[in-house]
Structure 1
């Protein structure tokens, strides 16, 4: 397999990173009379700043506006995030599993869901207190923007804050407006979406819905999903606002083709593993939640905010755990039945004023969240019939509580200097009550507490009106999730309450440059040193157990640029270099059924699931009502296990888009077409890190065409 250094144009990209750091200075000094850039003062929700432009924040921050001009079906958040530096977004061609998402290597080792990151949808956490999250319930039909924060200031969001992703749906506003969109693509994929929003003098509403259905690119991967999102608001006296958000998600019986080994990938990447048919592997997920948010400005620059939310997520999943493995009296069976009830509140006070004659903004608050989990396990057989719910093998009630306090301040301490500082104190308690106790399966109940304080500090220098240089540093931590606490590394009964949280020291040096013509350059260098890194200890009988394995380091560089080339032409590019490695050696198990961790992972081995380099390029031409675009995206090789013995090869893919808009008496009609993987390149789209049977690979889709039609209307439009 190719080495990471074989990624095309590696040297050119490295030179580009250096260019990104020196380009703003060169352009600023070359300009005879630079025009100052006027920046909108918009809220940076990820750093809880309301009166500070993102340009002035000493952090890597991206804001993606979703305005309906995308030539995409609108199924997943990954469609919007694929062109950002520092992010690895991998669709799995497996809708029984959630999107794989990692930021600067955080979350790369997750085999299901999203962990190591903080996720929010309309201000409501999509990451549970234990650090496990998902984005499948996001209603892209109603999404208006996405904010992504990378670097040290992510730690202000508490546990598992390797990065922050926030999705915001559109607000109700007058006049009334809405959209209808339909698209169709390969493998009988059909997507329908609609939205409706409006507002009166004091009340507003926004409703969005979507439905997705596919036979799946791989065999045994058919799926369907439905989404519904309702957002209501009431304007209060004194510019206050009360907002209610309701969300529904349903994904019944999504078939799971499972991963493939390398020989299977080469023979037929569209096949499903034989045991996927044998046990009819599948997953059903359903989620409902409500959130209430209140904002009220007060006199003297003061304001208060409060948020209250609650919801339930239910999962039933049929696994391919062999019948023989379930003979172990400690086995949890092969069917997961999981009910998650969750809720919480956040109270916040902010003040904007002056300190020593300079602008200052201060925020302080606290939040409390609770996750109640009822986990049951059943055998995935009944007599000789496989793939059905059998006898009960696990029954436990788990709870996670967190209590956090946080404070931060932004201060314009001099004409060209600004400071952003903050800290968060997090306290978490994990409690498990075992209700399945037999003579051969003892009581696994227990409790563990974690607590950390995570300070952050950043300094920004305005070299010119359109150029910023900044540095930031902070500490963070990441507790084990309940999935990682589920089994002890020694194979004994009980949960792995001896696991310690991963702690990290995070440094970043960056620069930002803008000009009045729309040119934008962002570049950053970063280093993250972690201790007590978590890694898989062994995989036995469908059970993955974890251990702390010592130190790790993530060094990296990011470059992003938007370049207006000529009238109607633009170029966007993003590049990431990441060197993520274990710094200490540790023993692991290899092979199915291994119980003896006798294989040594050498110090300096790559952290699995991370790519050394990633790149994305988009060239767009927009003559009047037409839009044409060509994209290229690539990744270097990815290690699939701690030992690094096997890797998913690197790849470069090309994509094409075309769209045409028409203004009519009844609104704006837009048709679009997109060809993904234009040259039909065989590639591995995602990997299942440390998969116990060696089935690490989830092949990416071949060439495919998507056609769509969107109608946007507005009341009173001619």
Structure 2
């Protein structure tokens, strides 16, 4: 059935060369495919023939620290998002198990912020530049249609920030929590009109600073973040949006713990971490320009251009003896990355033989140039300082992806959505560090795949849809995964192949009063899945497994009742297993893929009137997680509870929101995330016990 559906999806691309259509794309976004009936966010959860969830910015900020996406995204089915308590390595995020292998940042999923990819052309991404205080909404797309976003799109997370509106509003916010944590932020937003007249301008500008001593030893961090969005109505048919974002992060890296260390003292760190002062500094600045024009009643043009740079310096806790080995790249990584891209898209709406159709055709080009240097993390007898150079190379990666998406309203109840993308990813490395013992490791690789997807959607009635979909996706190795070979061997890991996945999905969505009930049943088969090959002397390397299979069920409910009550629940059952050739000489066939929970559950109840007292509670459950391919080591399952309460005043033009919260109410000792296949046995990254925080937001509207 799966192969037949994929073949049909490819055949459906043939009529798309005629005046046919695409999934209608979000007019305010460069990323998320949507259906013809948008919600306030531009995305219809009910009508889109895919597993998609929309989380509003108000939900992300409600009684929350506004520091990490993990605070209020747990209600999304299929999304495993965990806070490592390590700001040097970012959050651990996976969608249906894609991305679970990552020891830092994001892999296997695509992330966008205001149309600018937070995932680089190689598939490596990060969340540190997202300003939660400015979020308008977050769209999380899972399943076959994720493949239409190209490389590393096992899932798609699209973040849209607020567009300024009248009246002009100034906001200041502070939050203080356990472990010396605090955040201060300011935001200004407004507009000169309603956005319909030429020359009118809207704006949202924000800045924040976050500092923490950290739950664990050697885990302090600070982050400065700035974000700006300026929109201009050029004329009756066109708009221009200017985007700017800058972030600076300094963070210590506490690393992982063994099971014994975790049980004895979850706040401690391994001795090497302190000896070599493991830490990371990140500076990133980017800017974008989004031009949109309504060419005619039936035609729209969108052009998104962006450019940025990211400087990273990381000190690793690699022993001195290992750094002295032939071909070892040292214990200090210095990266300088420059990236830019352009995505041009045309949307046309028409009718073919009385069938309403829409097509969207586009071309996406992204490129990144990286200067990667390595140094010893010692000088003489002094540890934790930059020493002699051990690596110097220039890496170039680019992708060029034409794509076409179509949508057919076949009858009043039946619609067909289909799309295809031809993704080409090119990697080229020039080695400038060549000695008698360290040979030239230059090399290049090129990967390309056709990525089709299709879905049939049937409207049982105006409030109930069911759909079936299928698609193919692929994931190339990231630059970091290509940069190191197993057990400290010299040279690039050019034997690493891209992974190819095929997914089929059956789903249903039902509107119940002021709520939405969703269900999705899926299967994904992957060949050459990129998995961890172990972490040797503080550095993780990667390999290809033969075949893997993911089978799962996702259920979600978002129900509002009465004027002020809201209940949210989600449950994910995900059986992710190796099918062949996962562990080399040893057989891991049938074992669970490490880093992935088999069961995830969330339930949250809130009383939240427009003003006055409010309160809420939530419960999160995560089943045990295998930490190695052999499934010999597991992080235990856990259930944690959080509560919050506050008071909101609305006094003339002023709004004051004061809240307090307690997380991990019952002081559960649990593992927040795991480091997959850590060869020293330091698999565990502990989560904090019971912790407290308070916050205050004050805003004034100039009416």
Q: TM-score, normalised by structure 2?
A: 0.92
Aligned residue pairs total 664
C-alpha distance in 2 between matches for 1:625 and 1:356: 57
After superposition, residues 427-438 of structure 1 pair within 5 angstroms as: 427-438=424-435
Could you tell me how far 1:91 is from its partner in structure 2?
0.3
C-alpha distance in 2 between matches for 1:212 and 1:622: 27
C-alpha distance in 2 between matches for 1:495 and 1:66: 42
After superposition, residues 116-515 of structure 1 pair within 5 angstroms as: 116-201=108-193, 202-252=200-250, 254-489=251-486, 492-515=489-512
Could you tell me how far 1:49 is from its partner in structure 2?
3.8
Structure 2 equivalent of residue 673 of structure 1: 660
Range 55-64 or range 488-497, more displaced? 488-497
Could you tell me how far 1:487 is from its partner in structure 2?
2.5
Range 621-630 or range 215-224, more displaced? 621-630
C-alpha distance in 2 between matches for 1:394 and 1:580: 37
C-alpha distance in 1 between matches for 2:559 and 2:234: 43
C-alpha distance in 1 between matches for 2:563 and 2:165: 33
C-alpha distance in 2 between matches for 1:110 and 1:277: 23
Q: TM-score, normalised by structure 1?
A: 0.90
1:51 aligns with 2:36: yes
Q: 1:504-558: per-residue Cα shift (whole Å, max 9, x none)?
A: 101110000113x312100100110000112233544444332222000000000
Q: 1:315-357: per-residue Cα shift (whole Å, max 9, x none)?
A: 1111010001112111000001011110010111001232332
Could you tell me how far 1:142 is from its partner in structure 2?
1.3
C-alpha distance in 2 between matches for 1:375 and 1:571: 48
Q: Is the 8 A contact 1:141 1:209 kept in 2?
A: no
Q: Is the 8 A contact 1:46 1:148 kept in 2?
A: no
Q: Is the 8 A contact 1:43 1:50 kept in 2?
A: no
Could you tell me how far 1:611 is from its partner in structure 2?
0.3
Q: Is the 8 A contact 2:167 2:701 kept in 1?
A: yes
Q: For residues 417 and 50 of structure 1, do their structure 2 counterparts lie closer, same or farther at Cα, with a shift above 3 Å needed? A: closer
Q: Is the 8 A contact 1:534 1:547 kept in 2?
A: yes
Range 620-629 or range 172-181, more displaced? 620-629
- Which one of the candidate residues 586, 595, 602 is aligned to 1:616? 602
Structure 2 equivalent of residue 24 of structure 1: none
C-alpha distance in 1 between matches for 2:382 and 2:679: 25
Q: For residues 170 and 59 of structure 1, do their structure 2 counterparts lie closer, same or farther at Cα, with a shift above 3 Å needed? A: same
Structure 1 equivalent of residue 14 of structure 2: none
Q: 1:342-394: per-residue Cα shift (whole Å, max 9, x none)?
A: 00101110012323323222100001110101110100011111000000000
- Which one of the candidate residues 548, 564, 582 is aligned to 1:568? 564
Paired residue secondary structure (1:450):
strand
After superposition, residues 679-698 of structure 1 pair within 5 angstroms as: 679-698=666-685
Structure 1 equivalent of residue 15 of structure 2: none
C-alpha distance in 2 between matches for 1:277 and 1:286: 24
C-alpha distance in 2 between matches for 1:539 and 1:314: 24
1:655 aligns with 2:642: yes
Could you tell me how far 1:82 is from its partner in structure 2?
1.8
C-alpha distance in 1 between matches for 2:660 and 2:587: 47
Could you tell me how far 1:586 is from its partner in structure 2?
3.7
Could you tell me how far 1:565 is from its partner in structure 2?
4.9
After superposition, residues 517-556 of structure 1 pair within 5 angstroms as: 517-556=513-552
Q: For residues 44 and 486 of structure 1, do their structure 2 counterparts lie closer, same or farther at Cα, with a shift above 3 Å needed? A: closer
Q: Is the 8 A contact 2:56 2:138 kept in 1?
A: yes
Q: 1:40-81: per-residue Cα shift (whole Å, max 9, x none)?
A: x98786443473342221101111111275000111222231
Q: For residues 543 and 568 of structure 1, do their structure 2 counterparts lie closer, same or farther at Cα, with a shift above 3 Å needed? A: closer
Q: For residues 586 and 560 of structure 1, do their structure 2 counterparts lie closer, same or farther at Cα, with a shift above 3 Å needed? A: closer
C-alpha distance in 1 between matches for 2:218 and 2:323: 24
Q: Is the 8 A contact 1:651 1:683 kept in 2?
A: yes
Structure 2 equivalent of residue 27 of structure 1: none
Paired residue secondary structure (1:325):
helix
C-alpha distance in 2 between matches for 1:42 and 1:654: 39
Gaps of 5+ in 2: 1-25, 39-43, 194-199
Q: 1:251-270: per-residue Cα shift (whole Å, max 9, x none)?
A: 12x11111000000000011
Could you tell me how far 1:490 is from its partner in structure 2?
8.1
C-alpha distance in 2 between matches for 1:528 and 1:485: 25
Over the aligned positions, Cα root-mean-square deviation in angstroms equals 1.6
Paired residue secondary structure (1:265):
helix
Q: For residues 471 and 612 of structure 1, do their structure 2 counterparts lie closer, same or farther at Cα, with a shift above 3 Å needed? A: same
Gaps of 5+ in 1: 1-40, 589-597
Q: Is the 8 A contact 2:31 2:115 kept in 1?
A: no
Q: Is the 8 A contact 1:42 1:50 kept in 2?
A: no
Structure 1 equivalent of residue 54 of structure 2: 63
Q: Is the 8 A contact 1:142 1:209 kept in 2?
A: no
Paired residue secondary structure (1:141):
helix
Could you tell me how far 1:712 is from its partner in structure 2?
2.4
Could you tell me how far 1:435 is from its partner in structure 2?
0.5
